[in-house]
Chains A and B, each alone.
Chain A
Amino acid sequence: MSDANLPETTEAPFVYDYKTAPNREIILPKTVPLPGFRAYLAEQKAADEADAAKWLKQLADYEAAKSKAEAEGKDAPKPPAKAIAKKNDTEMTFPAPVDANDPDLLRLMEILGLKVEEAFEQGGELTCQVAKEHILEALRLCREDASLKFEMLADETATHYPAAKDFAFCVVYHLTSLARKKRLRLRILIPEGFEPESATQVYPSANWMEREIWDMFGIRFANHPDMTRILCPEDWEGHALRKDYPVVGWGQRDIDFREDRSGMLNRIALEKAGQLGINLKRPKAE
């Protein structure tokens, strides 16, 4: 192989700028879809008030138009009619949240008292939000209390709420009682950087689930036996399930070899491609 055929290697090696590549723009959510009975009531109230205000405005407009028409001697305008609610012609009924009525939730509220921030039922699922510092106590109670006895932690995961003001993540625990055939959801709201107590101290099955949460959301758990990443490699940048992480993630290798700090592999690839008559270099933006 003669060196004469190789392209000039004096210029800096081409590095694919993966951080500005297309498909990587981040669209942050604008709302905080955190289900809850109080939030639902507030939303309903706001919607009702908006409806009432709209109706009052329509009436006022009508009165004004009527007096104007009378003054000008024209026919009176049509009086406004209340909007009829759209008929639900589908077989869908949204399960609205209702206040806590289940004995399990009442028992939790009775024992934990003010540590329960919210408890409600929605579509047959029980949810209990506890103060973030007391999650371990709540889990232990759920497992050991004779009338609760949730033996198994079926699932633990988190959700990122970048639009929320006083918290950043919601961590949910799905408990199952095998004997009583019941499910319960516990949840905590935590700000960025807060380390909740690890559920492994009560339920050993939380081990991998919490490792996954650390991997995907960047929430560290205190007193966890093995707080390492599980699905991504240890040196991965960022946490993939956060809303500020693009779908086509960081670290995708197009033709850039990111671990190739010296640029050697990159240059070899370009040279080989050049020998084959392939131009791997991106045309410069004008």
Chain B
Amino acid sequence: MFKNEEMEINLGPQHPSTHGVLRVKLRLDGETIKHCRPMIGYLHRGIEKICENKTYFQGQVWTDRLDYCSAVANNLGWAEANEKLFGITVPRRAQYIRTLLNEFNRLASHLIWLATHALDIGAMTVFLYTFREREDILDINEAFCGSRLTTTAFRIGGLREDLPPGFEQLVRKFLAKFPACLEEYENLLSENRIWKKRTVGVAKLNAEDAIALGVTGPVLRAAGVPYDIRKAFPYAAYAEMDFEVPTRTEADTYARYLVRLEEMRQSSRIIQQCMDGLPEGPVMAKIPKILRAEVNEVYHATEAPKGEIGYYLVGEKGSTNPYRFHIRAPGFINLQSLPKMVEGSLLADIVAAIGTLDIVLGEIDR
């Protein structure tokens, strides 16, 4: 009797599994999703507009608040885009420290992703494990710049200050214990029967669709496309680092989980190399106190934990603030693929799909 009736429901905006204020309008046939429409904008603060009315230096604090789980990666993209706009060469030591902090940030972001993703699906324990290690990374952030989450870590032209005393010991201590922690997570999840039932074959997105929809980051790499901006367009000190880009071909939630775990391993490798090969020298380029641009435009993309974060800047001659400040947020573009992932699957799978996209509404709504 109810055979042909479709039901429309709203997932969110106040729903714990939507990682913020995401609203997804779903049309269901029984438990099968027929139509899915993500609706965003609840956290829109107009960061692009604000940054266009601030000086080049002042933009950084706003980039912290895009994807607040990976503030350092946002800072790095911002700093490098500005350096490209002005033609600034950053000292090598600063490049190394930036790379190191960026990789720590990738670890922190992936840890929080693993925690919340597993929590959404129903595995509570992992949350407690990963937050333990994330705490250490936040302590390292704090030792470097005094702030734990919204770091404002870099400056245009390099860093504000060199590494503090005792920083290396903190890093070495973390590196010594982290591989064992990764094994713990794997023991908890990788062969867990419930975890596999909830993730294997769920929210598939093949390579062709992913490229057409502009999806980047681990989601694209889990579909078998080895596109990592750290390798494709090397920036900071990544050209000198030895690391691999993990890929999978299954293109499902489980593959993305494995890709991210492997990425964490590679990140700790990069951190090791940065710490071992840290060159001596200054950490700040010689630049004027007030930056005045020439007419120029840049699009600079870096590999944030979630995917490609790009900054598009247009400089106005003699002006101290950017004429146009645009952020290509990875989450914004990746979220577009949600309907493709979930249409035709069960309602419960959308929670896994949102988790595997690793969205943060701060950068999606900007």
Interface residue ranges, A against B (CB under 8 Å): 29, 31, 33-35, 39-40, 43, 89-95, 122-123, 125, 127, 151-155, 157, 159, 172, 174, 178, 181, 183, 185, 203-205, 207-209, 212, 216, 229-233, 240-241, 245, 247, 249
Contact = CB atoms under 8 A, between A and B. Distances in A.
Contact of B295 (A35, A125, A185, A203): A35
Contacts of B285: 90-92
B314 interface: yes
A123 B296 contact: yes
Interface residues on B, range: 35 or more
- The CB with the most chain B CB atoms within 10 A, among A29, A93, A125, A205, is that of A205
20 contacts: A33-B317, A34-B295, A35-B296, A35-B297, A90-B285, A91-B89, A91-B285, A95-B87, A95-B296, A122-B296, A123-B84, A123-B298, A125-B297, A151-B211, A155-B310, A172-B297, A174-B299, A183-B299, A205-B212, A247-B49
Nearest to A151: B211
Contact of B212 (A127, A204, A208, A216): A204
Given A29-B316, A35-B314, A92 B287 contact: yes
Contact of B286 (A35, A89, A204, A240): A89
Interface string B1-32: 00000000000000000000000000000000
Contacts of A159: 314, 323-324
A17 B4 CA distance: 52
- The CB with the most chain A CB atoms within 10 A, among B314, B316, B324, is that of B324
Nearest to B295: A33
Contacts of A216: 48
B40 interface: yes
B41 A152 contact: no
Contacts, number: 135
Contacts of A125: 297-299
Given A159-B314, A247-B50, 13 more contacts: A33-B319, A92-B88, A92-B288, A94-B294, A95-B296, A122-B296, A152-B211, A154-B216, A155-B310, A157-B312, A178-B225, A204-B213, A245-B49
A207 B336 contact: yes
Contacts of A241: 48-49, 52
A47 to B, nearest CB: 11
Contacts of B227: 178
A205 B216 CA distance: 11
B233 interface: yes
A91 B317 contact: no
A152 B214 contact: yes
Contacts of B294: 94
B326 interface: yes
A208 B333 contact: yes
Given A29-B316, A155-B312, A157-B312, A94 B40 contact: no
A245 to B, nearest CB: 8
Contacts of A31: 316-317
A249 B46 contact: yes
A181 B232 contact: yes
A46 to B, nearest CB: 12
B328 A29 contact: no
B323 A205 contact: no
Interface in B350-366: 365-366
Contacts of A174: 299, 310, 312, 328
Contacts of B86: 92, 94
B77 interface: no
Given A178-B225, A183-B299, A91 B287 contact: yes
B323 A231 contact: no
Contacts of A185: 297, 299
**8 closest residue pairs by CB, A with B:** A205-B214, A231-B41, A33-B316, A155-B328, A91-B285, A93-B87, A231-B44, A159-B324
B315 interface: yes
Nearest to B84: A123
B233 to A, nearest CB: 7
Contact of A205 (B44, B296, B316, B336): B336
Interface in B308-338: 308, 310, 312, 314-317, 319, 323-324, 326, 328, 332-333, 335-336
A109 B87 CA distance: 28
Interface string B30-65: 000000000011001010111011000000000000
B286 A155 contact: no
A123 B298 CA distance: 8
- The CB with the most chain B CB atoms within 10 A, among A33, A159, A181, is that of A33
A90 B286 contact: yes
A185 B300 CA distance: 12
A93 B213 CA distance: 37
